[in-house]
Amino acid sequence: MSRYTEAKNTFIDEIDLDAYIDLESSRASYDQLAHSFKKSLKIVLVFGQPGTGKSLLLNRIYRDKRQQRELYFFDTPIMHKKVFFSKLFNILTKQELPQDSSIDFETFIEYLKSQKGKREIIILLDEAQMYPEVILEKIRVLSDTGVIKFVISLHQTEDEDLIAKEHFQSRIWETIELKNATKNELKTYIYKKLLMREQFELANQIKDRHCALLYKYTLGNYREINKMIYTVFEIYEYYDKNNPHKIKHDTFSTKIIEMAAIKLGYIHV
């Protein structure tokens, strides 16, 4: 396998906890979220632009803390009330909800109240902005019981802020905002990613000016960075296979970054 193929695969945009890069800002967010678990139960809001690492943060905390706490992770949004309650029923009773049966919400709330002080359940909800309003309303009431704490992750847009405001603001205990990488973080991120795959030579070829150019196009958004570097190495991979004389193997090319930027629509020609 070409070293460019190996490098390219490093930047596939997927949640790979083993390939997680520990940066200062993400470490701070993680610590803040972990610390919020110890506080009184209500709602924790994790928000930020798409591609800032919200899902990765929830995944990491779930992997690390699920042995220590009663922690559940809804990684994909649930659109139907029945499915949502079926899941909650399973969490509370450790049993499947019998088919053709439904949950009476008030009875459910009463049951939860009876569990207060006995159980502390934390449910991580990723992409919460996609939940229907009716479920969001139920989540708000469920959080009031003090038995279930919800960590909800939302995209940071005006509308989604409104959702958070309307349904959860009075109950939000902690707010964690995730931001794009700074220039330095971008550089560290790329270096560490490459070093993780032992691509020392390639890592050393990427200079500050390349990082500045990458930052210019991606604005430090991790998803965009991944996309961009993936494309850069894909172009390298092509040249390496078909026209190896067209690329320098000992220096990183601004031209190829620009070609990737054209390909991804950052540059309009």
Residues that bind other proteins (CB under 8 A): 234-235, 238-239, 242, 255, 258-259, 262-263, 267, 269
**CA 118, chain centre distance (Å):** 31
Backbone φ/ψ region at 70: left (φ over 0), alpha (ψ -120 to 50), beta: beta
In whole angstroms, how close is the CB of 159 to other proteins at the nearest point? 35
In whole angstroms, how close is the CB of 14 to other proteins at the nearest point? 21
Q: Are 239 and 246 in contact (CB under 8 A)?
A: yes
Nearer to other proteins (CB atom), residue 192 or residue 263: 263
Closest by CA position to 236, among listed 212, 206, 266, 265: 206
Nearer to other proteins (CB atom), residue 103 or residue 259: 259
In whole angstroms, how close is the CB of 242 to other proteins at the nearest point? 8
In whole angstroms, how close is the CB of 231 to other proteins at the nearest point? 8
Distance CA 269, CA 173 (A): 48
Nearer to other proteins (CB atom), residue 219 or residue 264: 264
For residue 46, list its beta bridge partners: 153, 176
Nearer to other proteins (CB atom), residue 111 or residue 239: 239
Pairing type for strands 172-178 and 148-155 reads: unpaired
Nearer to other proteins (CB atom), residue 189 or residue 252: 252
Q: Are 61 and 124 in contact (CB under 8 A)?
A: yes
In whole angstroms, how close is the CB of 258 to other proteins at the nearest point? 6
In whole angstroms, how close is the CB of 267 to other proteins at the nearest point? 6
In whole angstroms, how close is the CB of 212 to other proteins at the nearest point? 16
Closest by CA position to 43, among listed 134, 216, 173, 131: 173
Nearer to other proteins (CB atom), residue 161 or residue 258: 258
Question: Strand, helix or coil at 231?
Answer: helix
Q: Are 8 and 227 in contact (CB under 8 A)?
A: no
Nearer to other proteins (CB atom), residue 69 or residue 263: 263
Residues in the chain, overall count: 269
**CA 10, chain centre distance (Å):** 17
Distance CA 188, CA 52 (A): 15
